[in-house]
């Protein structure tokens, strides 16, 4: 039987496979992600692994072969869920959120924001059976060198970093382009009204209206800030 391909209208469809879908609801119905959904620029679907369990108790985890502490998410529910999704559309990436994956940096978010269909697997307990990683997963991403109780929060973090970059999500497109790490540097400091607050003044250059001088000041401040806080990023600038 020929696979039916469903063409989504949104710029991005994001399917998240998780044991705890309830954790996502507040975050995905707030702020920028809510705006993206309302504008129909992104479609997010949560898939409860327990719905794909094969026993009456809806177990999705089991003990480790070879012994060891903790429980591992089994192959059956994850394969069943992802194979069902892949029967309906092609996916650009199937991402597993894991502490031993490649560390998330801005360039990865930029790259993924250009995808049309992404699956994220949010592991839990001890993690997922290695065969899921070997057969289904196309990319493994870590949000930092630390361990969390599950992949739900990393999946939210990755989703937010991608969705905010989709054209039309943020009203001022330049806002995302000016973010830290977009050009390899941390952001320069920003100020708003009043210019004088309890004797703490906005730098004079920002009040001049001379955009060339302002841009040069911001570039200088970004370099100084990066050199002080993240000297590891400075190698690309030969400073």
Instruction: Tell me phi and psi for residue 153, to 5 degrees.
Output: -65, -45
* Stated pTM of the model: 0.82
Rounded average pLDDT over 122-137: 93
Segment 45-90, tens digit of pLDDT: 999 999 999 888 889 999 988 888 889 999 999 999 999 999 999 9
- From 138, 163, 188, the end of a domain falls on 163
Give 126's pLDDT tier (boundaries 50, 70, 90).
Answer: confident
Is 147 found in the same domain as 121? yes
Percent of the chain with pLDDT over 70: 89
Instruction: Give the mean pLDDT of 193-199.
Output: 95
CB 8 within 8 A of CB 37: no
Q: Do 203 and 119 belong to one domain? A: no
User: 60: which DSSP letter?
Assistant: -
Q: Which residue has the tokens 């004079």?
A: 204
Task: Establish if 2 belongs to a structural domain.
Answer: no
Note whether 73 and 19 are within 8 A (CB). yes
For residue 85, give both structure tokens: 């999704």
User: Are 184 and 113 in the same domain?
Assistant: no
What CATH code is carried by the domain that includes residue 209?
Answer: 1.10.1270.20
pLDDT at residue number 181: 46
Going by C-alpha positions, the residue among 119, 115, 116 that lies closest to residue 49 is 119
Domain around 192: 178-237
Residue in this structure with the two tokens 């730098």, named with its chain if needed? 203
In a domain, 137, yes or no: yes
Residue 148 lies in a domain: yes
Mean pLDDT across 190-216 = 95
Same domain, 130 and 223: no
Residue 180, pLDDT score = 46
User: What domain count does the chain have?
Assistant: 2
Interatomic CA distance for residues 222 and 220, integer angstroms: 5
């Amino acid at each position: 039987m020929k696979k039916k391909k469903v063409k989504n209208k949104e710029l991005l469809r994001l399917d998240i496979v998780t044991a705890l879908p309830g954790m996502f609801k507040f975050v995905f119905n707030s702020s920028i992600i809510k705006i993206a959904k309302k504008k129909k620029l992104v479609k997010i679907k949560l898939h409860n692994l327990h719905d794909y369990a094969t026993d009456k108790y809806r177990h999705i985890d089991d003990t480790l072969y070879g012994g060891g502490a903790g429980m591992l998410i089994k192959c059956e529910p994850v394969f069943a869920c992802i194979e069902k999704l892949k029967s309906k559309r092609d996916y650009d990436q199937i991402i597993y959120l894991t502490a031993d994956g490649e560390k998330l940096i801005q360039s990865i978010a930029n790259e993924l924001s250009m995808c049309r269909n992404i699956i994220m697997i949010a592991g839990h307990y001890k993690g997922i059976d290695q065969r899921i990683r070997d057969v289904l997963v196309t990319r493994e991403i870590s949000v930092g060198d630390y361990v969390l109780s599950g992949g739900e929060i990393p999946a939210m973090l990755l989703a937010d970093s991608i969705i905010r970059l989709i054209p039309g999500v943020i009203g001022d497109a330049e806002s995302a382009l000016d973010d830290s790490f977009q050009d390899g540097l941390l952001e320069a400091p920003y100020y708003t009204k009043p210019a004088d607050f309890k004797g703490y003044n906005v730098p004079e250059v920002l009040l001049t209206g001379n955009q060339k001088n302002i841009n040069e000041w911001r570039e200088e401040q970004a370099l100084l800030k990066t050199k002080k806080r993240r000297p590891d990023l400075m190698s690309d600038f030969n400073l």
